[in-house]
Amino acid sequence: MRSPGPASAIEPNAVAAGTPPMPPRGPVIRLVGRSLATVLVIAGSVILLLMLLSGVVNREIVWTASPQRGALAPLAPMRFADSTAMFAAVDAYVADEMRAVRAPGLVIAIVHDRRIVHQRALGYADTKSRRITAETPFILGSLSKSFTAIAVVQLADEGKLALDAPVQQYLSWFTVRDRDAATKITIRQLLNHTSGLPKSAGLQLVRGAEASTGVEDARLVTNVRLHHAPGTTFEYSNANYWLLGLVIEAVTQGSYETYLRSHVLVPLAMEHTYIDERIAEVHGLATGHRIWFGYPRAETLPYYWREMSVGYLISTADDMGRYLLAHLNGGSDGGAPVISARGLAELHTPPAASPYAMGWLIDSVAGIPVLWHTGAVANYHGDMLIIPSSRWGVVLLSNVNNFILEGQLSDAVKGVAALLLGYAPPRQPWFRFRASYALILAAALLWLTWRVWQVVRLRHWAREQRVMGPRSHAWLPAYPLVDPGVALGLLAGVPILLGSPISTLRWFVPDLTDWMILNAVVAIAIAGVRIAFLKMASSSSPEAEPLRPM
């Protein structure tokens, strides 16, 4: 058999002239692995930085009720000719605050002594076809917690439970990661938010909507790590009031909703307060809105009825006025009291060194003590406030929410209280909702311009790398990985910084959260294309050496 001559010799890896050889699989896999490692190192550095910052920045996001920090400037006294002039000033102030946050609709009710003395409804319950009224239902958010507190203290008044008894006495399945500490958590500590359960545990309780048995309920808290020893420190957590709702069900051997209706709502003649979203819709439930880059958008979101004790009771301004009257008049709105005088005093009294009583936060307006609470779900916001010394009460409900505007609406209810006390509302800083979103929109436009410029220049960038050659720019493989590393670090680290899971951020601030997610996806895609171009440039160079991310 003849051996082929040199001219006919064929190498196994020969390719057509002028076609760059395909890179071996091994180096490509190593490149991908090293690139991924580099991205993770960069992302980890960003997360670590944000974790360090989380220890020094204020993480009291407004949806987790907290008292006013620091001393306010003295308020200027105001004189009104009569109550008509005062309420006209209130209406003008509330209308200004409503426009300032672009709220679609808002209603306010004011009570004094033993009656509702003023109501004003502004805007629309839906897309400008149905006006808001004092009988329009809204989801109350955490205003629901004070109803839960009343129900618990009622049961204590009747001797059916003890406030200082351990939770495990009523929920045998209840425990947390520290089994010994779990035995020391009491009903009173749940009411006062001093159980040690962290805010983060409460913010993830939307999963509780799917729990229907004690075993499923237990899974939601069994591995929770307490932030504080029970009974020592206030930390607002929805988990506390979720557990209280389950305690009520265990003690009464019935549903939370049934007990609340028969023992609180019916005695107070709150006929337009609902425990079923479908019934509320029949009676004109306002359409909720979320904010998208500064503007409200109507959105119907899931209704988590299993979190009724935390934040999903539905009511009207008129009914909430009746409810505030009960708190100002010994637990009664003209009929038999729904709670004893001693029980009502407990509801309104916080433990030592804590600002939180039972469903009420202790604060002050113009130096005068008030009881107050904010309430929010993703697309509704509410605030209620009572001034026991002067027997005023205010409730304000709106069909929009966003974490940036929450503080502004809560300040508004305190501004109304100031007017009722004869003072001008506190002067507000200029950098509020609209200014914040003007800055966010400017940043979004700059980001979009930058990303479009990156995409448009990708081919030009690739040609530059082929011309320059890999040897003279050995650092370039790391450069494209900074962008996705930082983007992923922000996506994972911002929830840590704010002390809230990404699911909660997307619930309350969907525009900015989706922007972070989109930014990470775009950054990864652009980096992937750049790495591919660099690898192609390296493979086509006769002097190329394998590119290695730094």
Taking the C-alpha atoms of residue 100 and residue 79, their distance in angstroms, rounded to an integer, is 25
Structure tokens at 271: 């006929």
Query: Are β-strands 295-298 and 368-377 bridged in parallel, bridged antiparallel, or unpaired?
Result: unpaired
Question: What letter does residue 17 receive in the DSSP assignment?
Answer: T
List of long-range contacts for 445-449, beta carbons under 8 Å, 24+ apart: 447/515, 447/519
If asked whether residues 183 and 293 sit together in one domain, one would say yes
SS3 (DSSP) at 221 = coil
Tens digits of per-residue pLDDT, 12-32?
A: 444 444 445 555 555 656 666
**What CA–CA distances, in Å, run from 39 to 47, 395, 398, 502?**
12, 50, 43, 20
If asked whether residues 296 and 174 sit together in one domain, one would say yes
SS3 (DSSP) at 106 = strand
Assign residue 269 a region: left if phi > 0, alpha if psi is -120 to 50, beta otherwise?
left
Do 196 and 227 form a contact (C-beta atoms < 8 A)? yes
Query: Are β-strands 138-139 and 289-292 bridged in parallel, bridged antiparallel, or unpaired?
Result: unpaired
The predicted structure's pLDDT at residue 550: 42
If asked whether residues 50 and 93 sit together in one domain, one would say no
The predicted structure's pLDDT at residue 105: 96
If asked whether residues 177 and 226 sit together in one domain, one would say yes
If asked whether residues 154 and 120 sit together in one domain, one would say yes
If asked whether residues 367 and 451 sit together in one domain, one would say no
* Alpha helix stretches (DSSP H) within 195-340: 199-203, 214-219, 238-252, 256-260, 277-282, 308-311, 317-328
If asked whether residues 284 and 355 sit together in one domain, one would say yes
If asked whether residues 88 and 53 sit together in one domain, one would say no
Name the domain count of the chain. 2
The predicted structure's pLDDT at residue 389: 95
- Does any domain span residue 549? no
- Does any domain span residue 16? no
The predicted structure's pLDDT at residue 76: 72
The predicted structure's pLDDT at residue 264: 96
- Does any domain span residue 10? no
Taking the C-alpha atoms of residue 417 and residue 394, their distance in angstroms, rounded to an integer, is 7
- Does any domain span residue 223? yes
- pTM for the complete prediction? 0.86
Tens digits of per-residue pLDDT, 457-510?
A: 888 777 776 666 554 444 445 667 889 999 999 999 998 888 788 888 888 899
Domain that holds residue 448: 22-58+433-540
* Alpha helix stretches (DSSP H) within 429-478: 433-456, 458-468
Question: What letter does residue 336 receive in the DSSP assignment?
Answer: S
Do 110 and 394 form a contact (C-beta atoms < 8 A)? yes
If asked whether residues 95 and 234 sit together in one domain, one would say yes
- Does any domain span residue 278? yes
Taking the C-alpha atoms of residue 120 and residue 87, their distance in angstroms, rounded to an integer, is 9
> How many CB atoms within 10 Å of residue 442?
10
SS3 (DSSP) at 83 = helix
**Nearest-5° Cα angle at 69, 67 to 70:** 140
If asked whether residues 382 and 522 sit together in one domain, one would say no
- Does any domain span residue 7? no
- Does any domain span residue 396? no
β strands within 278-415, DSSP E: 289-292, 295-298, 314-315, 361-365, 368-377, 380-387, 392-398
If asked whether residues 42 and 110 sit together in one domain, one would say no
Domain boundary among 377, 399, 420: 420
CA 305 to chain centre: 18
Do 534 and 458 form a contact (C-beta atoms < 8 A)? no
- Does any domain span residue 366? yes
If asked whether residues 248 and 309 sit together in one domain, one would say yes
The predicted structure's pLDDT at residue 71: 46
Q: Which strand (E) or helix (H) includes residue 505? A: helix 502-508
**What CA–CA distances, in Å, run from 61 to 372, 376, 407, 474, 500?**
16, 12, 9, 45, 9
Residues of the chain with pLDDT under 70: 1-32, 55-75, 204-217, 465-479, 537-550
